[in-house]
Amino acid sequence: MKITDLRATTVAVPLEAPLRHANGCHWGRFVRTIVEVETDTGLVGLGEMGGGGESAVAGIRALKAYLVGRDPARLEEMRFLLANPTASLYNNRTQMVAAIEFACLDLMGQAWGVPVCDILGGRVRDRVTFASYVFYRYAAANGDGTIRTIDQVVEFARAMKAAHGFTTHKMKGGVFHPDYELDCYRALAAAFPGDRFRFDPNGVWSTEQAIRFGRGIEDLDNDYLEDPVFGLAGMRSARERLRVPLATNTVVVNFEQLAANVLHRAVDVILLDTTFWGGIRACVKAAGVCETFQLGVAVHSSGELGIQLATMLHLGAVVPNLSFAADAHYHHLE
């Protein structure tokens, strides 16, 4: 089987309502780029990456000359061809390599008649649990969907639990003052006794604010506090003063940063994102390092559509040391 063509198509999928976060807002849609890898057998594999538009499509299109004629099963050869240290220094190709890897794994699964998790070593679990994701939200175009008050936060989480059975709840912060978000988070935890909780302000707080917030939730059933500050130094300073585990998908997203965290512990839980890390295989490798050094592992969500959600499921199925429910944005899509 040989690769004969490589295509990219940007899509925009509507959200129920705009999702607010520390960097602004997801304004009513997720923009993603779908990657198709076609072979001489007629099979087509599908991948997905974040963002879109002319730059994403052109970036994928530029890789076609490297890939046509190659065996999609030779993933490590392709990874080094496209994203070796020098190429990565001059070109941010990590997400593009991830999308191509997804498509090639899809091709192998189709050709061999097996699920991707079997190609990755075989599943160790048959079910991967997910957490609800509670955002502050602006109103949708029809005026519905606002989440701003404590009652609205709890009402949304209650509706998601009723619809999907969630027993873990993640709240996105970094929008209002930390004291108000602390009140919202504590109300959320009080509404669902026996469930688990996690909070993520996207690294927007000062170390002092992170410590104040973290101490204010130490009595709750927390999975972790995710990226309360930015940078390994800030996370290390906060971790030294808190009894809540700290997690990240921001300051440990490659193997050099993972090594730095092993040598000088700043983060307890590594959130593995199949696009940010450059593919499912890189995440499996990182999970092995985490297992060796007793770091927790969870599956991160970066605003996925169905293709990346499938990669998250396969990752969750094969990682033996997966310690937590996976994140997902998928239930915010219309």
The model carries a pTM of 0.96
Instruction: Describe the strand order of the beta sheet including 246-248 as a list of residue ranges.
Output: 132-134, 168-172, 196-200, 222-226, 246-248, 269-272, 296-299
Residue pair 284/293 in contact (Cβ under 8 Å)? The answer is: no
Domain membership of residue 30 as a residue range: 3-118
**CA-to-CA distance for 213 and 279, rounded, in angstroms?**
34
Contacts of 55 (CB under 8 A, 6+ apart): none
**CA-to-CA distance for 136 and 153, rounded, in angstroms?**
7
Does 59 lie in the same domain as 137? no
Kindly tell me the sign of the dihedral angle through the C-alpha atoms of 199, 192, 273, 38: negative
Stretches where the chain sits below pLDDT 70 are none
Does 164 lie in the same domain as 75? no
Domain contains 125: no
Does 298 lie in the same domain as 154? yes
Does 106 lie in the same domain as 65? yes
Q: How far is CA 36 from the centre of its chain?
A: 21
Does 225 lie in the same domain as 101? no
pLDDT in tens, 138-148: 999 999 999 99
Predicted local distance difference test score (pLDDT) of residue 91: 77
Total structural domains within the chain: 2
Predicted local distance difference test score (pLDDT) of residue 192: 99
Kindly tell me the sign of the dihedral angle through the C-alpha atoms of 172, 198, 314, 248: positive
Domain contains 36: yes
Predicted local distance difference test score (pLDDT) of residue 270: 99
Does 143 lie in the same domain as 113? no
Does 175 lie in the same domain as 110? no
Domain C-terminal end among 118, 142, 164: 118
Contacts of 117 (CB under 8 A, 6+ apart): 123, 314, 317, 318
Which of 254, 198, 255, 187 has the alpha carbon at shortest distance from 221? 198
Domain C-terminal end among 95, 118, 141: 118
Active site amino acids: 172, 300
- Which H/E stretch holds residue 313? helix 306-318
Domain contains 124: no
